[in-house]
Amino acid sequence: MSHSLSEYGPLTHQPRKYGYSEKGCVLEIFEPTAGLAQILIMGSIHGDESLSTVLLSECLRSLQAHELKSSVILAANPDGVLAGTRCNSRGVDLNRNYPTTNWAPDPVYYRNRPDTPQNIALSPGAMAGSEAETKALIELIQDIKPGLIVSIHGFLGCIDDPDASPIAQDIALRTGLDLVPDVGYATPGSFGSWCKEQTIPIITYELPSQDITELKQLHVPVLKDLCTGHYHKLIS
């Protein structure tokens, strides 16, 4: 039985430490109490998209420990979440810091809002894989070998899966979000590019720009299904 709403207060699941951020925050992963997780779900690789952390946390808090069948990282960039920045504490966009064939040392640009130009510069790191958060996540993934990774972002409002997998199709159908093969612009050194090169299936789940109440209503049930094994039969 899932927790009732009155029991949603504290996060009682016990995390495991997989490293430290550049500023010394503990990097944590929540894992099933028994058995191997096939799916890794993560939020807030971009610290200014921390509604992903709020939704994933609510999902975890709604579950009893034994119901969790997937691995969950609430915040892949905790320094960014605490500072409210897209980048980590060294000004690096962690989602452009991965050792991929297309990583480049040039600044990377993002937009503040959908209607503003993509002109805010961040660093992709002094070199590919330079940041503590990146190194720790790579080591973790090589260790736990997930069959699917779902990375939650905001707020483009789409489900990005170049393979258009059955799970991505189902999430798109349930959420009314478009299923797309890419986000429409180049993302050198992105976590998604790295996963593709490692042949790890990845779905980039871009939340829409909606208020938190609507986001909770529509997306927490989907996240819950991702966490509790509902989709495991669809992983090839």
Neighbours of 156 (CB within 10 A): 18
State in angstroms the smallest separation of the CB of 156 from Zn ion. Answer: 8
- With contacts defined by CB under 5 A, name the span among 5-13, 45-53, 156-164, 192-200 that binds Zn ion: 45-53
Q: Closer to Zn ion at the Cβ: 27 or 68? A: 27
Cis preceding linkage at 30, omega within 30: no
State in angstroms the smallest separation of the CB of 81 from Zn ion. Answer: 12
Q: Closer to Zn ion at the Cβ: 148 or 152? A: 152
Residue 46 binds to Zn ion (criterion: CB under 5 A): yes
Q: How big is the chain, counted in residues?
A: 236
Q: Closer to Zn ion at the Cβ: 49 or 58? A: 49
3-state secondary structure of 167: helix
Element (H, E) at 52: helix 51-61
Could you give the CA distance from residue 60 to residue 162 in angstroms, rounded to a whole number? 28
Could you give the CA distance from residue 151 to residue 3 in angstroms, rounded to a whole number? 25
Residue 153 binds to Zn ion (criterion: CB under 5 A): yes
Q: How many residues bind Zn ion (CB under 5 A)?
A: 3
Residue 96 binds to Zn ion (criterion: CB under 5 A): no
Annotation marks residue 58 as catalytic = no
Could you give the CA distance from residue 76 to residue 151 in angstroms, rounded to a whole number? 10
- Yes or no: say if 199 and 100 are a contact pair by the CB < 8 Å rule: no
Could you give the CA distance from residue 28 to residue 158 in angstroms, rounded to a whole number? 27
Residue 69 binds to Zn ion (criterion: CB under 5 A): no
- With contacts defined by CB under 5 A, name the span among 25-33, 43-51, 126-134, 211-219 that binds Zn ion: 43-51
Could you give the CA distance from residue 192 to residue 97 in angstroms, rounded to a whole number? 11
Could you give the CA distance from residue 125 to residue 96 in angstroms, rounded to a whole number? 8
**Would you give the binding string for Zn ion spanning residues 100-139, x where CB under 5 A is met?**
----------------------------------------
Q: Per the residue annotation, which of 22, 31, 206, 214 is the catalytic one? A: 206
- With contacts defined by CB under 5 A, name the span among 38-46, 156-164, 189-197, 219-227 that binds Zn ion: 38-46
Q: Active-site positions?
A: 206
Judged by the rule CB under 5 A, the positions of this chain that interact with Zn ion are: 46, 49, 153
